[in-house]
Every structure is written in C-alpha cells, then in structure tokens.
C-alpha cells in the first residue's frame, strides 16, 4: 500500500491535526463545570487558579492551534 494522495488534497494527518484543538476546548469546558470528578482530580482546592484540568486542556488547545492558524491564512490568501 502506498500513501499517495491527489495533488493539493489534504491527507488524513492534516484532518487529524485539526481535530486536537476542538477536542481540547470541549474537554476544558467539560472539566470547568466541576462536580464529582473535580473532587477526585483536584486534591488542593483553593490553590493556584492555574492548577487543575481545565487550564491544562485550554493550554493544550492553544498549543495545538497552529494547524487552524495555517488553514485560516490559506483561506484568506485565496
């Protein structure tokens, strides 16, 4: 099997790279709601506002936003 694609058509890795940011944004929203899971994940309540799962997921989404920025630049350049 070969990994050939049509010239100019994005392959599966391109689409997979676009999936990371929305998934991390969704996870950040879900964990920011709190609840029973928050009790298990956060041992030190009242600590730093940057401790916990929601800020971590938010930062992971920001760090994985590069494919979205490249896509936006490509669309606006056309």
Are 59 and 9 spatial neighbours (Cβ–Cβ below 8 Å)? no
Collect all residues with Cβ–Cβ distance below 8 Å to 51 and sequence separation of at least 6: 42, 44
Q: Each residue's pLDDT tens digit in the chain (78 positions)?
A: 445 555 566 688 888 889 989 999 898 888 887 655 555 555 555 556 666 788 888 999 999 999 999 989 988 987
C-alpha 54/C-alpha 67 separation (Å) is 22
pTM: 0.62
Are 38 and 31 spatial neighbours (Cβ–Cβ below 8 Å)? yes
Residues in the chain: 78
pLDDT of residue 65: 92
pLDDT of residue 52: 77
pLDDT of residue 44: 52
């Amino acid at each position: 099997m070969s990994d050939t694609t049509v010239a100019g058509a994005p392959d599966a890795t391109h689409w997979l790279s676009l999936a990371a940011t929305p998934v991390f944004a969704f996870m950040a929203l879900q964990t920011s709601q709190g609840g029973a899971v928050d009790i298990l994940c956060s041992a030190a309540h009242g600590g730093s506002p940057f401790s916990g799962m929601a800020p971590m997921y938010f930062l992971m989404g920001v760090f994985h936003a590069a494919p979205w920025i490249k896509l936006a630049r490509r669309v606006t350049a056309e």
